[in-house]
A and B are shown apart, each in its own frame.
Chain A
Amino acid sequence: MNNAKVTLENMNVHFDSNHAVKSVSLDFMENTVTSIIGPSGCGKSTLLRSINRMHDLVPSAKVTGRILFDGMDLYDRSVDPVAIRRKIGMVFQKANPFPAMNIYDNVVAGYKLNNRMRRNESDEIVETSLKRVALWDEVKDRLKTSAMDLSGGQQQRLCIARTIAVQPEVILMDEPCSALDPIATLKIEELVEELKERFTIIIVTHNMQQAARVSDSTAFMYMGEMIENGPTKKIFTTPEHKQTEDYITGRFG
Protein backbone atom coordinates (compact mmCIF):
# COMPACT_ATOMS: atom_id res chain seq x y z
CA MET A 1 0.00 0.00 0.00
CA ASN A 2 2.14 2.42 1.58
CA ASN A 3 4.84 4.87 2.39
CA ALA A 4 6.20 2.76 5.20
CA LYS A 5 9.85 3.58 5.79
CA VAL A 6 10.53 0.50 7.86
CA THR A 7 8.45 -2.65 7.88
CA LEU A 8 8.75 -5.58 10.25
CA GLU A 9 7.41 -8.81 8.83
CA ASN A 10 7.00 -11.69 11.20
CA MET A 11 10.14 -10.66 12.98
CA ASN A 12 11.59 -12.79 15.79
CA VAL A 13 14.60 -12.31 18.03
CA HIS A 14 16.12 -15.11 20.07
CA PHE A 15 18.91 -14.86 22.63
CA ASP A 16 19.94 -18.50 22.70
CA SER A 17 16.77 -20.12 24.03
CA ASN A 18 15.15 -16.86 25.17
CA HIS A 19 12.51 -15.87 22.63
CA ALA A 20 12.58 -12.09 23.25
CA VAL A 21 10.55 -10.79 20.31
CA LYS A 22 7.79 -12.99 18.93
CA SER A 23 6.53 -12.70 15.33
CA VAL A 24 6.09 -9.00 15.26
CA SER A 25 4.73 -7.32 12.13
CA LEU A 26 4.57 -3.55 12.05
CA ASP A 27 4.90 -0.56 9.72
CA PHE A 28 6.76 2.62 10.57
CA MET A 29 5.59 5.46 8.35
CA GLU A 30 7.89 8.01 6.81
CA ASN A 31 8.19 11.33 8.69
CA THR A 32 6.18 10.19 11.65
CA VAL A 33 7.00 9.42 15.25
CA THR A 34 6.12 5.95 16.45
CA SER A 35 6.42 5.12 20.11
CA ILE A 36 6.87 1.65 21.47
CA ILE A 37 5.55 1.12 24.96
CA GLY A 38 5.24 -1.85 27.28
CA PRO A 39 6.42 -3.16 30.64
CA SER A 40 10.07 -3.68 31.42
CA GLY A 41 11.60 -6.71 29.75
CA CYS A 42 8.90 -7.04 27.11
CA GLY A 43 11.41 -6.70 24.29
CA LYS A 44 11.15 -3.02 23.28
CA SER A 45 14.89 -2.41 23.15
CA THR A 46 15.47 -5.74 21.50
CA LEU A 47 12.99 -4.87 18.75
CA LEU A 48 14.49 -1.41 18.28
CA ARG A 49 18.06 -2.70 18.09
CA SER A 50 17.20 -5.21 15.43
CA ILE A 51 16.28 -2.33 13.09
CA ASN A 52 19.85 -1.02 12.89
CA ARG A 53 21.37 -4.46 13.28
CA MET A 54 22.95 -3.76 16.65
CA HIS A 55 22.39 -7.40 17.50
CA ASP A 56 25.24 -8.21 15.14
CA LEU A 57 27.47 -7.37 18.12
CA VAL A 58 25.82 -9.99 20.33
CA PRO A 59 26.88 -13.50 19.33
CA SER A 60 23.93 -15.17 21.06
CA ALA A 61 21.31 -13.04 19.27
CA LYS A 62 19.45 -14.39 16.25
CA VAL A 63 17.02 -12.35 14.18
CA THR A 64 14.56 -14.10 11.85
CA GLY A 65 11.72 -12.89 9.66
CA ARG A 66 12.16 -9.79 7.58
CA ILE A 67 12.86 -6.14 8.24
CA LEU A 68 12.34 -3.96 5.19
CA PHE A 69 13.91 -0.53 4.85
CA ASP A 70 12.54 1.29 1.80
CA GLY A 71 11.51 -2.15 0.61
CA MET A 72 15.01 -3.63 0.97
CA ASP A 73 15.56 -6.58 3.31
CA LEU A 74 18.01 -5.38 5.98
CA TYR A 75 19.13 -8.88 6.83
CA ASP A 76 19.85 -9.88 3.27
CA ARG A 77 23.32 -11.27 2.67
CA SER A 78 24.24 -8.46 0.31
CA VAL A 79 23.47 -5.74 2.87
CA ASP A 80 26.36 -4.07 4.65
CA PRO A 81 25.32 -3.40 8.27
CA VAL A 82 27.76 -0.48 8.51
CA ALA A 83 26.07 1.29 5.61
CA ILE A 84 22.68 0.58 7.17
CA ARG A 85 23.66 2.19 10.47
CA ARG A 86 24.60 5.35 8.63
CA LYS A 87 21.03 5.54 7.36
CA ILE A 88 19.41 4.37 10.58
CA GLY A 89 20.88 6.24 13.53
CA MET A 90 20.41 5.49 17.19
CA VAL A 91 20.21 7.45 20.43
CA PHE A 92 20.70 5.55 23.66
CA GLN A 93 19.10 5.59 27.08
CA LYS A 94 22.19 6.94 28.75
CA ALA A 95 23.95 9.78 26.98
CA ASN A 96 27.21 8.38 25.69
CA PRO A 97 29.37 11.14 24.23
CA PHE A 98 33.01 10.27 23.60
CA PRO A 99 34.78 11.48 26.75
CA ALA A 100 38.15 11.95 25.09
CA MET A 101 36.71 14.33 22.49
CA ASN A 102 35.59 17.91 22.78
CA ILE A 103 32.08 19.03 21.87
CA TYR A 104 33.02 19.90 18.31
CA ASP A 105 34.70 16.57 17.61
CA ASN A 106 31.81 14.68 19.18
CA VAL A 107 29.37 16.24 16.75
CA VAL A 108 31.41 15.34 13.68
CA ALA A 109 32.67 11.98 14.97
CA GLY A 110 30.24 9.99 12.84
CA TYR A 111 30.17 12.37 9.91
CA LYS A 112 33.94 12.22 9.62
CA LEU A 113 33.82 8.46 9.16
CA ASN A 114 31.94 8.80 5.91
CA ASN A 115 33.27 11.98 4.45
CA ARG A 116 36.64 13.50 3.87
CA MET A 117 35.91 17.03 4.78
CA ARG A 118 37.35 20.44 4.76
CA ARG A 119 37.46 22.70 7.73
CA ASN A 120 34.68 25.14 6.81
CA GLU A 121 32.43 22.28 5.86
CA SER A 122 32.80 20.67 9.24
CA ASP A 123 32.22 24.02 10.95
CA GLU A 124 28.96 24.21 9.10
CA ILE A 125 27.91 20.68 10.04
CA VAL A 126 28.64 21.39 13.69
CA GLU A 127 26.65 24.59 13.67
CA THR A 128 23.58 23.25 11.89
CA SER A 129 23.51 20.03 13.90
CA LEU A 130 23.82 21.84 17.21
CA LYS A 131 21.22 24.41 16.19
CA ARG A 132 18.83 21.68 15.26
CA VAL A 133 19.08 20.20 18.75
CA ALA A 134 18.85 23.69 20.30
CA LEU A 135 22.25 23.38 21.87
CA TRP A 136 24.15 25.88 19.75
CA ASP A 137 23.50 28.94 21.89
CA GLU A 138 24.49 27.09 25.02
CA VAL A 139 27.82 25.76 23.76
CA LYS A 140 28.95 27.93 20.85
CA ASP A 141 31.58 29.63 23.00
CA ARG A 142 33.07 26.41 24.30
CA LEU A 143 33.07 24.01 21.39
CA LYS A 144 36.62 22.98 22.19
CA THR A 145 35.93 21.99 25.80
CA SER A 146 35.25 18.46 26.93
CA ALA A 147 31.82 17.04 26.22
CA MET A 148 31.84 15.66 29.74
CA ASP A 149 31.46 19.13 31.21
CA LEU A 150 27.92 19.37 29.82
CA SER A 151 24.85 18.53 31.89
CA GLY A 152 23.08 15.22 31.33
CA GLY A 153 20.40 16.81 29.18
CA GLN A 154 22.94 18.71 27.13
CA GLN A 155 24.94 15.53 26.67
CA GLN A 156 21.87 13.74 25.39
CA ARG A 157 21.14 16.56 22.93
CA LEU A 158 24.78 16.42 21.87
CA CYS A 159 24.34 12.72 21.15
CA ILE A 160 21.29 13.50 19.05
CA ALA A 161 23.28 16.15 17.18
CA ARG A 162 26.03 13.61 16.59
CA THR A 163 23.44 11.22 15.18
CA ILE A 164 21.75 13.71 12.85
CA ALA A 165 25.12 15.02 11.63
CA VAL A 166 25.49 11.70 9.82
CA GLN A 167 22.25 12.60 7.98
CA PRO A 168 20.36 9.37 8.60
CA GLU A 169 16.82 8.76 7.39
CA VAL A 170 15.55 6.98 10.48
CA ILE A 171 16.41 7.73 14.11
CA LEU A 172 15.89 5.08 16.77
CA MET A 173 15.63 6.36 20.33
CA ASP A 174 15.73 4.02 23.31
CA GLU A 175 14.29 5.82 26.33
CA PRO A 176 16.27 8.95 25.50
CA CYS A 177 14.83 10.90 28.44
CA SER A 178 14.83 8.34 31.21
CA ALA A 179 17.93 9.84 32.85
CA LEU A 180 16.80 13.46 32.46
CA ASP A 181 14.85 15.95 34.54
CA PRO A 182 11.44 17.23 33.35
CA ILE A 183 12.78 20.37 31.70
CA ALA A 184 15.49 18.56 29.76
CA THR A 185 12.88 15.97 28.85
CA LEU A 186 10.57 18.65 27.50
CA LYS A 187 13.36 20.01 25.34
CA ILE A 188 14.02 16.61 23.83
CA GLU A 189 10.32 16.13 23.19
CA GLU A 190 10.09 19.46 21.35
CA LEU A 191 13.11 18.40 19.41
CA VAL A 192 11.54 15.10 18.39
CA GLU A 193 8.54 17.05 17.18
CA GLU A 194 10.78 19.13 14.91
CA LEU A 195 12.99 16.30 13.77
CA LYS A 196 10.12 14.33 12.31
CA GLU A 197 9.95 16.77 9.43
CA ARG A 198 13.19 15.31 8.16
CA PHE A 199 13.46 11.95 9.81
CA THR A 200 11.38 8.92 10.61
CA ILE A 201 11.52 8.45 14.36
CA ILE A 202 10.94 5.37 16.47
CA ILE A 203 11.05 6.00 20.19
CA VAL A 204 10.89 3.57 23.10
CA THR A 205 9.50 5.11 26.25
CA HIS A 206 8.21 4.20 29.69
CA ASN A 207 6.50 7.54 30.00
CA MET A 208 2.87 7.36 28.88
CA GLN A 209 2.46 11.14 28.69
CA GLN A 210 5.54 11.31 26.55
CA ALA A 211 4.22 8.72 24.15
CA ALA A 212 0.90 10.56 23.99
CA ARG A 213 2.59 13.93 23.47
CA VAL A 214 5.19 13.14 20.85
CA SER A 215 4.04 10.22 18.78
CA ASP A 216 1.68 9.80 15.86
CA SER A 217 1.44 6.06 16.26
CA THR A 218 1.90 3.83 19.26
CA ALA A 219 2.67 0.16 19.56
CA PHE A 220 2.12 -1.74 22.76
CA MET A 221 4.23 -4.79 23.49
CA TYR A 222 3.83 -7.40 26.15
CA MET A 223 6.07 -10.41 26.82
CA GLY A 224 7.73 -10.18 23.43
CA GLU A 225 4.50 -9.89 21.49
CA MET A 226 3.01 -6.91 19.74
CA ILE A 227 -0.39 -6.67 21.37
CA GLU A 228 -1.79 -3.63 19.65
CA ASN A 229 -0.72 -0.76 17.48
CA GLY A 230 -2.36 2.18 15.76
CA PRO A 231 -2.75 5.94 15.90
CA THR A 232 -1.64 7.24 19.27
CA LYS A 233 -4.95 8.94 19.92
CA LYS A 234 -6.83 5.74 19.40
CA ILE A 235 -4.51 3.63 21.52
CA PHE A 236 -4.79 6.08 24.38
CA THR A 237 -8.54 6.67 24.19
CA THR A 238 -10.14 3.51 22.86
CA PRO A 239 -7.68 0.63 23.02
CA GLU A 240 -9.01 -2.65 21.74
CA HIS A 241 -7.23 -4.91 24.16
CA LYS A 242 -7.75 -5.13 27.87
CA GLN A 243 -3.96 -5.45 28.42
CA THR A 244 -3.30 -2.22 26.57
CA GLU A 245 -5.91 -0.39 28.56
CA ASP A 246 -4.58 -1.73 31.84
CA TYR A 247 -1.05 -0.72 30.94
CA ILE A 248 -1.77 2.84 29.82
CA THR A 249 -4.01 3.50 32.78
CA GLY A 250 -1.33 2.22 35.12
CA ARG A 251 -3.43 -0.65 36.42
CA PHE A 252 -0.94 -3.14 35.18
CA GLY A 253 0.21 -6.31 36.93
Chain B
Amino acid sequence: MQQNELTATEESQFTNSCAKRRGADGDRIFRWLTFLFAAAVLLILGLMIFEMTKESLPSITKFGGRFISGSNWDAVQEDFASLPFLYGSIVSSILAILLATPLSVATALFITEVAPNRIGTVAASLIELLAAIPSVIYGLWGILVMAPWLQRTIQPWLADHFGFLPFFSGAPYGVSMMAGVLILAIMIIPIITAISREVLLAVPQSQREAAVALGATKWEMIRIAVLPYGRSGILGGVILGLGRAIGETMAVTMVIGNTPQISLSLLSPAYTMPSVIANEFAEATNALHSSALMEIGLILLVVTLIINVFARLLIWKVTKGHKGGVA
Protein backbone atom coordinates (compact mmCIF):
# COMPACT_ATOMS: atom_id res chain seq x y z
CA MET B 1 0.00 0.00 0.00
CA GLN B 2 2.53 2.51 1.20
CA GLN B 3 4.87 1.66 -1.60
CA ASN B 4 2.18 2.31 -4.15
CA GLU B 5 1.54 5.76 -2.76
CA LEU B 6 5.22 6.48 -2.79
CA THR B 7 5.64 5.59 -6.42
CA ALA B 8 2.57 7.62 -7.21
CA THR B 9 4.01 10.82 -5.74
CA GLU B 10 7.41 10.11 -7.16
CA GLU B 11 5.89 9.66 -10.52
CA SER B 12 4.07 12.97 -10.47
CA GLN B 13 7.29 14.69 -9.46
CA PHE B 14 8.98 13.03 -12.35
CA THR B 15 6.42 14.17 -14.84
CA ASN B 16 6.71 17.71 -13.50
CA SER B 17 10.46 18.02 -13.43
CA CYS B 18 11.69 15.87 -16.24
CA ALA B 19 10.06 15.79 -19.56
CA LYS B 20 7.62 12.93 -19.89
CA ARG B 21 9.25 9.59 -19.15
CA ARG B 22 8.40 6.69 -21.35
CA GLY B 23 7.73 4.27 -18.51
CA ALA B 24 5.16 6.50 -16.86
CA ASP B 25 2.50 5.99 -19.53
CA GLY B 26 2.82 2.24 -19.32
CA ASP B 27 2.51 2.47 -15.56
CA ARG B 28 -0.71 4.41 -15.77
CA ILE B 29 -2.21 2.12 -18.38
CA PHE B 30 -1.23 -0.88 -16.32
CA ARG B 31 -2.85 0.58 -13.21
CA TRP B 32 -6.09 1.31 -15.05
CA LEU B 33 -6.18 -2.11 -16.66
CA THR B 34 -5.72 -3.93 -13.36
CA PHE B 35 -8.34 -1.72 -11.76
CA LEU B 36 -10.72 -2.48 -14.62
CA PHE B 37 -10.26 -6.22 -14.29
CA ALA B 38 -10.73 -6.11 -10.54
CA ALA B 39 -13.85 -4.01 -10.95
CA ALA B 40 -15.19 -6.35 -13.62
CA VAL B 41 -14.90 -9.32 -11.28
CA LEU B 42 -16.81 -7.49 -8.58
CA LEU B 43 -19.39 -6.33 -11.10
CA ILE B 44 -19.98 -9.85 -12.37
CA LEU B 45 -20.37 -11.15 -8.83
CA GLY B 46 -22.77 -8.34 -8.00
CA LEU B 47 -24.81 -8.95 -11.14
CA MET B 48 -24.94 -12.64 -10.36
CA ILE B 49 -26.26 -12.08 -6.86
CA PHE B 50 -28.75 -9.53 -8.17
CA GLU B 51 -29.99 -11.82 -10.91
CA MET B 52 -30.25 -14.83 -8.64
CA THR B 53 -32.11 -12.83 -6.02
CA LYS B 54 -34.51 -11.58 -8.69
CA GLU B 55 -35.14 -15.09 -9.96
CA SER B 56 -35.60 -16.37 -6.40
CA LEU B 57 -38.14 -13.69 -5.49
CA PRO B 58 -41.26 -15.81 -6.14
CA SER B 59 -39.91 -18.49 -3.82
CA ILE B 60 -38.67 -15.99 -1.24
CA THR B 61 -42.01 -14.18 -1.04
CA LYS B 62 -44.03 -17.38 -1.02
CA PHE B 63 -42.10 -19.35 1.62
CA GLY B 64 -40.12 -16.71 3.53
CA GLY B 65 -38.02 -18.06 6.41
CA ARG B 66 -39.80 -21.40 6.17
CA PHE B 67 -37.71 -22.07 3.07
CA ILE B 68 -34.64 -22.45 5.25
CA SER B 69 -36.20 -24.04 8.32
CA GLY B 70 -38.63 -26.42 6.62
CA SER B 71 -37.81 -29.83 5.23
CA ASN B 72 -40.48 -30.60 2.69
CA TRP B 73 -39.54 -30.78 -0.99
CA ASP B 74 -42.52 -31.60 -3.11
CA ALA B 75 -42.63 -30.53 -6.73
CA VAL B 76 -46.18 -31.82 -7.23
CA GLN B 77 -47.65 -29.91 -4.29
CA GLU B 78 -45.34 -27.01 -5.09
CA ASP B 79 -44.15 -26.92 -1.52
CA PHE B 80 -40.44 -26.27 -1.23
CA ALA B 81 -38.01 -25.95 1.66
CA SER B 82 -34.26 -26.38 1.68
CA LEU B 83 -33.16 -27.65 5.09
CA PRO B 84 -32.37 -31.25 4.01
CA PHE B 85 -30.08 -29.92 1.27
CA LEU B 86 -28.42 -27.42 3.57
CA TYR B 87 -28.01 -30.17 6.15
CA GLY B 88 -26.65 -32.62 3.59
CA SER B 89 -24.17 -30.12 2.18
CA ILE B 90 -22.87 -28.89 5.50
CA VAL B 91 -22.72 -32.25 7.26
CA SER B 92 -21.09 -34.06 4.36
CA SER B 93 -18.53 -31.28 3.92
CA ILE B 94 -17.66 -30.97 7.57
CA LEU B 95 -17.33 -34.71 8.07
CA ALA B 96 -15.20 -34.89 4.94
CA ILE B 97 -12.97 -32.13 6.29
CA LEU B 98 -12.66 -33.87 9.65
CA LEU B 99 -11.60 -37.02 7.88
CA ALA B 100 -9.35 -35.41 5.28
CA THR B 101 -7.47 -32.91 7.43
CA PRO B 102 -5.47 -35.27 9.66
CA LEU B 103 -4.67 -37.52 6.71
CA SER B 104 -3.59 -34.59 4.56
CA VAL B 105 -1.45 -32.97 7.21
CA ALA B 106 0.16 -36.32 8.00
CA THR B 107 0.89 -36.85 4.31
CA ALA B 108 2.35 -33.37 3.98
CA LEU B 109 4.50 -33.94 7.06
CA PHE B 110 5.71 -37.21 5.62
CA ILE B 111 6.65 -35.51 2.35
CA THR B 112 8.43 -32.54 3.89
CA GLU B 113 9.89 -33.83 7.14
CA VAL B 114 10.32 -37.58 6.92
CA ALA B 115 10.72 -38.89 3.38
CA PRO B 116 14.04 -38.52 1.57
CA ASN B 117 13.95 -35.60 -0.85
CA ARG B 118 13.46 -37.63 -4.00
CA ILE B 119 10.60 -39.72 -2.68
CA GLY B 120 8.97 -36.58 -1.28
CA THR B 121 9.08 -34.87 -4.65
CA VAL B 122 7.60 -37.87 -6.42
CA ALA B 123 4.84 -38.21 -3.82
CA ALA B 124 4.07 -34.50 -4.08
CA SER B 125 3.66 -34.60 -7.86
CA LEU B 126 1.49 -37.72 -7.64
CA ILE B 127 -0.78 -35.95 -5.20
CA GLU B 128 -1.01 -32.91 -7.42
CA LEU B 129 -1.98 -35.28 -10.21
CA LEU B 130 -4.84 -36.59 -8.08
CA ALA B 131 -6.13 -33.05 -7.70
CA ALA B 132 -6.39 -32.80 -11.47
CA ILE B 133 -8.65 -35.83 -11.99
CA PRO B 134 -12.14 -34.72 -13.13
CA SER B 135 -14.72 -35.19 -10.42
CA VAL B 136 -16.97 -37.32 -12.62
CA ILE B 137 -14.23 -39.95 -12.63
CA TYR B 138 -14.21 -40.00 -8.86
CA GLY B 139 -18.00 -40.28 -8.98
CA LEU B 140 -17.88 -43.16 -11.41
CA TRP B 141 -15.40 -45.00 -9.24
CA GLY B 142 -17.51 -44.17 -6.21
CA ILE B 143 -20.72 -45.58 -7.62
CA LEU B 144 -19.24 -48.62 -9.37
CA VAL B 145 -16.66 -49.65 -6.80
CA MET B 146 -16.85 -47.85 -3.50
CA ALA B 147 -20.60 -47.78 -2.82
CA PRO B 148 -21.15 -51.51 -3.53
CA TRP B 149 -18.11 -52.31 -1.44
CA LEU B 150 -19.44 -50.23 1.44
CA GLN B 151 -22.80 -51.96 1.13
CA ARG B 152 -21.22 -55.39 1.25
CA THR B 153 -18.63 -54.90 3.98
CA ILE B 154 -18.32 -51.80 6.16
CA GLN B 155 -21.95 -50.82 6.40
CA PRO B 156 -23.43 -54.18 7.47
CA TRP B 157 -20.63 -54.55 9.98
CA LEU B 158 -21.30 -51.11 11.41
CA ALA B 159 -25.04 -51.77 11.51
CA ASP B 160 -24.46 -55.08 13.29
CA HIS B 161 -22.07 -53.82 15.91
CA PHE B 162 -22.98 -50.17 16.34
CA GLY B 163 -26.54 -50.20 15.06
CA PHE B 164 -27.73 -49.07 18.49
CA LEU B 165 -26.11 -45.69 17.78
CA PRO B 166 -28.27 -43.34 15.71
CA PHE B 167 -25.29 -42.73 13.40
CA PHE B 168 -25.21 -46.31 12.14
CA SER B 169 -28.84 -47.36 12.25
CA GLY B 170 -30.96 -48.48 9.32
CA ALA B 171 -30.41 -50.62 6.27
CA PRO B 172 -27.13 -50.42 4.35
CA TYR B 173 -27.83 -48.95 0.92
CA GLY B 174 -24.32 -48.32 -0.27
CA VAL B 175 -25.20 -44.96 -1.73
CA SER B 176 -25.43 -42.85 1.40
CA MET B 177 -24.14 -39.94 3.40
CA MET B 178 -21.17 -42.13 4.25
CA ALA B 179 -20.33 -42.66 0.57
CA GLY B 180 -20.67 -38.93 -0.05
CA VAL B 181 -18.39 -38.09 2.84
CA LEU B 182 -15.77 -40.59 1.72
CA ILE B 183 -15.74 -39.45 -1.88
CA LEU B 184 -15.49 -35.82 -0.79
CA ALA B 185 -12.66 -36.63 1.59
CA ILE B 186 -10.77 -38.45 -1.17
CA MET B 187 -11.25 -35.48 -3.46
CA ILE B 188 -10.09 -32.80 -1.04
CA ILE B 189 -7.14 -34.68 0.43
CA PRO B 190 -4.91 -33.71 -2.54
CA ILE B 191 -5.87 -30.05 -2.14
CA ILE B 192 -5.24 -29.83 1.59
CA THR B 193 -2.08 -31.90 1.24
CA ALA B 194 -0.69 -29.67 -1.48
CA ILE B 195 -1.36 -26.49 0.49
CA SER B 196 -0.05 -27.95 3.73
CA ARG B 197 3.09 -29.01 1.93
CA GLU B 198 3.69 -25.48 0.66
CA VAL B 199 3.10 -24.12 4.13
CA LEU B 200 5.47 -26.61 5.75
CA LEU B 201 8.16 -25.96 3.16
CA ALA B 202 7.95 -22.29 4.10
CA VAL B 203 8.75 -22.98 7.74
CA PRO B 204 12.27 -21.59 8.14
CA GLN B 205 15.06 -24.04 8.82
CA SER B 206 16.04 -21.89 11.82
CA GLN B 207 12.80 -22.91 13.55
CA ARG B 208 13.55 -26.59 13.08
CA GLU B 209 17.11 -26.07 14.29
CA ALA B 210 15.87 -24.20 17.35
CA ALA B 211 13.80 -27.20 18.39
CA VAL B 212 16.39 -29.82 17.52
CA ALA B 213 19.11 -27.94 19.42
CA LEU B 214 16.91 -28.06 22.51
CA GLY B 215 16.96 -31.83 22.33
CA ALA B 216 13.71 -32.38 20.47
CA THR B 217 13.12 -35.63 18.63
CA LYS B 218 11.80 -35.40 15.10
CA TRP B 219 8.21 -35.68 16.27
CA GLU B 220 8.76 -33.13 19.05
CA MET B 221 10.34 -30.77 16.53
CA ILE B 222 7.23 -31.10 14.36
CA ARG B 223 4.99 -30.53 17.36
CA ILE B 224 6.68 -27.51 18.90
CA ALA B 225 8.25 -25.77 15.90
CA VAL B 226 6.87 -26.86 12.53
CA LEU B 227 3.12 -27.23 13.08
CA PRO B 228 2.65 -24.12 15.26
CA TYR B 229 4.54 -22.04 12.72
CA GLY B 230 2.38 -23.33 9.88
CA ARG B 231 -0.93 -23.72 11.65
CA SER B 232 -2.72 -20.69 10.22
CA GLY B 233 -1.57 -21.53 6.72
CA ILE B 234 -2.77 -25.09 7.10
CA LEU B 235 -6.07 -23.80 8.43
CA GLY B 236 -6.37 -21.68 5.29
CA GLY B 237 -5.89 -24.84 3.23
CA VAL B 238 -8.55 -26.64 5.24
CA ILE B 239 -11.02 -23.84 4.60
CA LEU B 240 -10.28 -23.89 0.90
CA GLY B 241 -10.95 -27.63 1.02
CA LEU B 242 -14.21 -26.95 2.79
CA GLY B 243 -15.23 -24.52 0.06
CA ARG B 244 -14.40 -27.13 -2.54
CA ALA B 245 -16.38 -29.78 -0.66
CA ILE B 246 -19.47 -27.61 -0.31
CA GLY B 247 -19.49 -26.73 -3.98
CA GLU B 248 -18.66 -30.20 -5.30
CA THR B 249 -21.53 -31.47 -7.44
CA MET B 250 -20.90 -34.36 -9.76
CA ALA B 251 -19.18 -36.96 -7.63
CA VAL B 252 -21.44 -36.36 -4.65
CA THR B 253 -24.58 -36.53 -6.74
CA MET B 254 -23.49 -39.93 -7.99
CA VAL B 255 -23.00 -41.53 -4.57
CA ILE B 256 -25.01 -39.74 -1.90
CA GLY B 257 -28.40 -41.23 -2.82
CA ASN B 258 -30.25 -37.99 -3.58
CA THR B 259 -33.01 -38.32 -0.99
CA PRO B 260 -34.14 -35.08 0.66
CA GLN B 261 -34.24 -36.20 4.26
CA ILE B 262 -32.49 -35.32 7.48
CA SER B 263 -31.17 -38.45 9.08
CA LEU B 264 -28.45 -38.77 11.68
CA SER B 265 -27.50 -42.13 10.23
CA LEU B 266 -24.49 -42.15 7.97
CA LEU B 267 -25.96 -45.20 6.27
CA SER B 268 -29.00 -43.34 4.96
CA PRO B 269 -29.07 -41.54 1.66
CA ALA B 270 -28.96 -37.75 1.74
CA TYR B 271 -28.97 -34.83 -0.70
CA THR B 272 -26.88 -31.71 -1.18
CA MET B 273 -27.58 -28.24 -2.56
CA PRO B 274 -25.49 -28.52 -5.72
CA SER B 275 -26.88 -31.99 -6.38
CA VAL B 276 -30.52 -30.98 -6.29
CA ILE B 277 -29.84 -28.04 -8.59
CA ALA B 278 -28.01 -30.22 -11.08
CA ASN B 279 -30.63 -32.97 -10.93
CA GLU B 280 -33.81 -30.93 -11.14
CA PHE B 281 -33.09 -27.78 -13.07
CA ALA B 282 -33.72 -29.28 -16.48
CA GLU B 283 -37.08 -30.72 -15.39
CA ALA B 284 -38.28 -27.76 -13.39
CA THR B 285 -41.29 -26.94 -15.55
CA ASN B 286 -43.18 -24.59 -13.32
CA ALA B 287 -41.92 -21.20 -12.27
CA LEU B 288 -42.02 -21.78 -8.53
CA HIS B 289 -39.91 -24.93 -8.79
CA SER B 290 -37.14 -23.23 -10.71
CA SER B 291 -37.38 -20.22 -8.44
CA ALA B 292 -36.91 -22.50 -5.41
CA LEU B 293 -33.87 -24.08 -7.05
CA MET B 294 -32.56 -20.58 -7.73
CA GLU B 295 -32.96 -19.74 -4.07
CA ILE B 296 -30.99 -22.84 -3.11
CA GLY B 297 -28.30 -21.62 -5.49
CA LEU B 298 -28.37 -18.26 -3.75
CA ILE B 299 -27.97 -19.90 -0.34
CA LEU B 300 -25.10 -21.99 -1.68
CA LEU B 301 -23.43 -18.88 -3.06
CA VAL B 302 -23.78 -17.06 0.25
CA VAL B 303 -22.39 -20.02 2.21
CA THR B 304 -19.42 -20.26 -0.18
CA LEU B 305 -18.77 -16.54 0.05
CA ILE B 306 -18.79 -16.67 3.83
CA ILE B 307 -16.27 -19.49 3.77
CA ASN B 308 -14.05 -17.57 1.38
CA VAL B 309 -14.13 -14.40 3.43
CA PHE B 310 -13.18 -16.53 6.40
CA ALA B 311 -10.26 -17.98 4.44
CA ARG B 312 -9.09 -14.49 3.41
CA LEU B 313 -9.13 -13.37 7.03
CA LEU B 314 -7.05 -16.37 8.02
CA ILE B 315 -4.50 -15.80 5.29
CA TRP B 316 -4.32 -12.16 6.32
CA LYS B 317 -3.65 -13.32 9.86
CA VAL B 318 -0.84 -15.56 8.62
CA THR B 319 0.98 -12.73 6.88
CA LYS B 320 0.42 -10.46 9.87
CA GLY B 321 1.89 -13.10 12.16
CA HIS B 322 5.22 -12.79 10.40
CA LYS B 323 6.02 -9.35 11.68
CA GLY B 324 8.88 -9.00 14.12
CA GLY B 325 11.61 -10.23 11.85
CA VAL B 326 11.99 -13.93 12.38
CA ALA B 327 11.89 -15.08 8.80
Contact = CB atoms under 8 A, between A and B. Distances in A.
A95 to B, nearest CB: 7
Given A57-B208, A99-B324, A166 B215 contact: yes
Contacts of A90: 209, 213
Contact of B206 (A86, A96, A148): A96
A92 interface: yes
Q: Size band of the A side of the interface?
A: 20 to 34
A110 B216 contact: yes
In this complex, the member of A52, A94, A95, A110 whose beta carbon has the largest number of chain B beta carbons within 10 angstroms is A110
A149 B213 CA distance: 23
Contact of B213 (A83, A89, A99, A101): A89
Given A98-B207, A98-B225, A100-B229, A52 B213 contact: yes
A54 B212 contact: yes
Contacts of B229: 98-100
A253 to B, nearest CB: 29
B217 A82 contact: yes
B212 A99 contact: no
A83 to B, nearest CB: 7
B215 A83 contact: yes
A163 B206 contact: no
A89 B212 contact: no
Contacts of A98: 207, 210-211, 224-225, 228-229
Nearest to A56: B212
Contacts of A152: 325
B220 interface: yes
Interface string B229-270: 101000000000000000000000000000000000000000
Nearest to A150: B324
A113 B325 contact: no
A187 B209 CA distance: 24
In this complex, the member of A54, A92, A109 whose beta carbon has the largest number of chain B beta carbons within 10 angstroms is A109
A233 B220 CA distance: 43
B129 interface: no
Interface string A67-104: 00000000000000011011001101011111111000
A156 to B, nearest CB: 11
B321 interface: yes
A176 to B, nearest CB: 13
Contacts of B321: 99-100
B326 interface: yes
B323 interface: yes
In this complex, the member of A82, A101, A152, A166 whose beta carbon has the largest number of chain B beta carbons within 10 angstroms is A82
Question: Which are the 8 A-B pairs with shortest beta-carbon distances?
Answer: A110-B214, A148-B324, A86-B215, A100-B228, A90-B213, A96-B206, A85-B215, A96-B210
26 contacts: A57-B208, A59-B117, A83-B215, A85-B215, A86-B214, A86-B215, A92-B206, A92-B213, A98-B207, A98-B224, A98-B228, A98-B229, A99-B228, A99-B321, A99-B324, A100-B228, A100-B229, A110-B215, A110-B216, A113-B214, A113-B216, A113-B224, A149-B324, A163-B213, A166-B214, A166-B215
Given A94-B326, A109-B211, A149-B324, 5 more contacts: A92-B209, A94-B327, A99-B228, A100-B321, A163-B213
Interface of B: 116-117, 204, 206-217, 220, 224-225, 228-229, 231, 321-327
